Amino acid sequence: MLKALLIDLDETLYRPQTGMLSAGDRAITAFIAARLGIDLQRADATRVDLWRRYGTTAAGLEREHGVPQAECFAATIETVNPADYISPEPELAAMLARLPLRLCLFTNSTQPYSERVLQALGIREQFSTIYDIASRNWCPKPEPGAYDAVMSALELPPAEVGFVEDHVANIPPARELGWTVFLMRQAHPAAHYVLDDILDLGELLRREGLCESGEPE
């Protein structure tokens, strides 16, 4: 059985249709345009290219342009107000609270942003730990070092760790470590299970015998 569940944040714990991630993307594009002195069209193309090659745009900006990642995050996604896009999800909070597992956030975003998103969803108290990008020395998924850092902090064997993620590129390293992988809304050879909705997680875990069937202690 699993003992801990690592859950991604953006578009995993809330639906993609909210528009919140797009708001963050717009803020990042504007930051790149101003910081690098290029037009918005080139800045947006740069944002996507760096994200695809480095896991986060911030990591790419730091490595290719010397922009500190903390500066990028502070000027972009940390300026987005989650409450403008998402609201409390009592059903999600109840489902997570019933899981007899250690729930941890495993995100490529920062602690301040993560805290605000979890608070806006009304699920902050369900998570014991936030493994944000700064806690991993700014090492983003899917770099193996990000997973190794979390694995070390958990102090559990890989077979007792589950991982819920929406981005396909981020799941092969988890599968290679021996984690049980849940992918949102799409199938992939590296995923053990597909979740159409995060609300289905509790039922799936119990049906597959991956956690106890009763209430958490």
Bridge-based pairing of strands 161-165 and 129-131 is: unpaired
- Name the percent of the chain lying above pLDDT 70: 98
20-79, what's its fold? Answer: DNA polymerase; domain 1 (1.10.150)
**Coil/strand/helix, residue 5:** strand
Domain-wise residue ranges, the chain: 4-14+86-207, 20-79
Q: For residues 44 and 35, is the Cβ–Cβ distance under 8 A?
A: no
pLDDT digits (tens, 9 = 90+) for 100-115: 999 999 999 999 999 9
- Which residues lie below 8 Å from residue 129, measured CB to CB, with a gap of 6+? 102, 104, 105, 153
Mean pLDDT in consecutive groups of 10 residues from the start of the chain, 217 residues: 97 96 97 98 98 97 97 98 97 97 98 98 98 97 97 96 97 97 96 97 97 61
Based on the number of CB atoms within 10 Å of its own CB, is 24 exposed (0-12), middle (13-18) or buried (19 or more)? buried
Rounded CA separation 185/171 (Å): 13
Across the chain, mean pLDDT equals 96
pLDDT digits (tens, 9 = 90+) for 67-109: 999 999 999 999 999 999 999 999 999 999 999 999 999 999 9
- The alpha carbon dihedral of 84, 85, 91, 93 has a sign of negative
- pLDDT at residue number 214: 52
pLDDT digits (tens, 9 = 90+) for 137-147: 999 999 999 99
Homologous superfamily assigned to 4-14+86-207: HAD superfamily/HAD-like (3.40.50.1000)
